[in-house]
A and B are shown apart, each in its own frame.
Chain A
Amino acid sequence: MSGNLLHRPSIFRRPDGIGGALPALILIILFFVVPVVALLLRSVTEPVPGLQNYATLFGDGTYARVFFNTFLVATVVTAVTVIVAFPVAWMLAIMPPTLGSIVFGIIILSMWTNLLTRTYAWMVLLQRTGVINRTLMDIGLISQPLPLINNLTGVTIGMVYIMLPFMILPLVGTLRAIDPMTLRAAALCGASPLEAFRRILLPLSLPGIAAGGLMVFVMSLGYFVTPTLLGGTSNMMLAAMIAQMIQSLLNWGLGSAAAFILLVVTMALYALQLRLVGAKRMTGGI
């Protein structure tokens, strides 16, 4: 009997080792880490060893414009997404479930619809003879079609459309976690709704806003499909430039140097985000 008791802990507490993670680890090292590191090495070895690729990227006005465009679009997209997402998340957090599930259904449908399909829709909607321009001209608001596509306006509209679910869904979680009692207390103590919003609701939802905002910003920085299709060739963003350097110009050195810059910025922001919200809360979103 006592032998049995002594044995029991060893059965129970035998922890799962690292063994189960080995297939995943091998997959990621062999087909993710090695290729990415090999690529980055090419940025300092091609065409000749040295940092000349980075010198070219930082020294040339053309590339500076691409970097500027990329940061500008990512910043504007993030700001607009946060402002639009907040009221929606707020309502979703407190709405009656029946009504809420309709809105959630629409958000999920939009998010799960093929990315190219959604971008295609915006290409058709925003074109010179598209519905938006037609409608605005018909009601007499404009006399000439607005240039909505092949510029940064188009990119921003399309990107906000794609990023909204990624901002709304985590924010609902943050807002639901706030105790409504704190706001009732504020009202009892004589705070006006504006004051309660500014001093209680907004600060309490700031972690969610920061986490979602950073995620949207990081995703926007490296986005390829939508900016390429809606932005046209004269308003290239970083990801499209990298693809072009490799695919059309076959300039692996310069392309991988640009990829390295994108990687460093992304990873730095990711680390910041982990620090802000903790790995679990961030990844609990899906």
Chain B
Amino acid sequence: MLLDYDRLGGLRTALLGFTGLVAAFLLLPVIFIVLLSFGSSRWLAFPPPGWTLKWYEELFADPAWLEAALTSARIATMAAILAVVIGLLASFALVRGQFRGRNTLRGLLLTPMVLPVVVFAIAIYAFFLRIGLGGTTAGFIIAHTVLALPFAIIPITAALEGFDKSIEDAAIVCGASPFEAKLRVTLPAIKIEIFSAAIFAFLASWDEVVVAIFMASPTLQTLPVKIWGSLRQDLSPVIAAASSLLVLLTLSLMIVTALIRRKLSK
């Protein structure tokens, strides 16, 4: 009975109420930041004494913010592309390959997701200093590709495991080369998961703070580094304005994802 929604009785009201509270707990801080970004109080008084757009004006008046956002977008796009391509190739080997140590290999490739990122951050920081990649865009892209790779591999291997390989074999019987069969039969069949992989990999880089703090130089900083730097100084409402734009971006990403998933699954 406990798993029958219609027969829970009073318990259902209590559980639904609790779920509502938790949903509010998760949602309210996000709404709060958006409201504050339009509030006129420099000290972030709430409810705001008046409404203004001046924090957004300040945000756009400082070219460092836009530059940091563009840097982040560039690095995250490159890291996502690399992680998806490398992850896709690896996924075929991980799912269909017959070689010893396959599970160990899978574990190894997923480790960057598990290892505390601060350990990786100082390790790659020291390593890049030594080989001359410290503070470079290339260094950023490599480090973020390592961190994004598990987020690409997990959905793609899951999709390949659920894909019936005999369909690909049928294409080969009909005269397609193995490569062509993969390209024109298998990849279209798992396109939703490849798309998810790209989104996850992009976000893994776009939101990454810790490696970025170590790797950043005065001339090269990503958006999270810029926010981090401002947060260490004061709780300026300009950060609320930047944050609100990030929330808007998240929302659009969610909507686009939902739409594309719906379109792809038709």
Contact = CB atoms under 8 A, between A and B. Distances in A.
Interface of A: 8, 11-12, 14-21, 23-25, 27-28, 31-36, 38-39, 42, 84, 87-88, 90-96, 102-103, 105-110, 112-125, 127, 129-131, 134, 161, 164-165, 175, 178, 180, 183-184, 186-187, 193, 196-197, 200-201, 218, 221-225, 229, 239, 242-243, 246-247, 252, 255-256, 259, 262-263, 266-267, 270, 274, 279, 283-284, 286
The listed residue with most A CB atoms (<10 A of its CB), out of B22, B44, B119, is B119
A242 B119 contact: yes
A231 B125 CA distance: 25
Nearest to A16: B96
Contacts of B3: 93-94, 175, 178, 180, 183, 201
Given A28-B111, A218-B114, 4 more contacts: A31-B143, A35-B124, A120-B240, A124-B36
A116 B119 CA distance: 20
B250 A12 contact: no
Given A17-B93, A124-B235, A184-B1, A262 B119 contact: yes
17 contacts: A23-B90, A24-B87, A24-B153, A32-B120, A90-B15, A109-B26, A115-B224, A116-B224, A178-B3, A180-B3, A180-B4, A183-B1, A183-B3, A196-B2, A222-B117, A246-B125, A252-B126
B109 A112 contact: no
Contact of B109 (A21, A96, A102): A21
Interface in B135-182: 142-143, 145-146, 149, 151, 153-155, 158, 169, 172-173, 178
B237 to A, nearest CB: 9
B186 to A, nearest CB: 11
Interface of B: 1-5, 11, 15-16, 18-19, 22-23, 25-27, 29-30, 32-33, 36, 43-46, 86-87, 89-99, 103, 105-112, 114-127, 142-143, 145-146, 149, 151, 153-155, 158, 169, 172-173, 178, 200, 203, 207, 209-210, 213-214, 224, 227-228, 231, 235, 239-240, 243, 246-247, 250-251, 253-254
A124 B155 CA distance: 36
Interface of A is mostly: helix
Contacts of A93: 3
A118 B122 CA distance: 24
B248 to A, nearest CB: 10
A134 B86 CA distance: 52
A125 B25 CA distance: 12
Contacts of A196: 1-2
B254 A32 contact: no
Contacts of A88: 18-19, 22-23
B49 to A, nearest CB: 13
Nearest to B114: A270
Contacts of A161: 25-26, 29
Given A183-B3, A193-B2, A262-B116, A15 B96 contact: yes
Contact of A115 (B33, B106, B207): B207
Contact of B90 (A24, A120, A221): A24
The 3 closest A-B pairs by CB, nearest first: A222-B116, A121-B29, A35-B127
B29 A284 contact: no
Contacts of A259: 118-119, 122-123
Nearest to A215: B114
A84 B86 CA distance: 38
A122 B106 CA distance: 37
Contact of B146 (A19, A27, A284, A286): A27
B224 A31 contact: no
The listed residue with most B CB atoms (<10 A of its CB), out of A105, A117, A121, A242, is A117
A222 B118 contact: yes
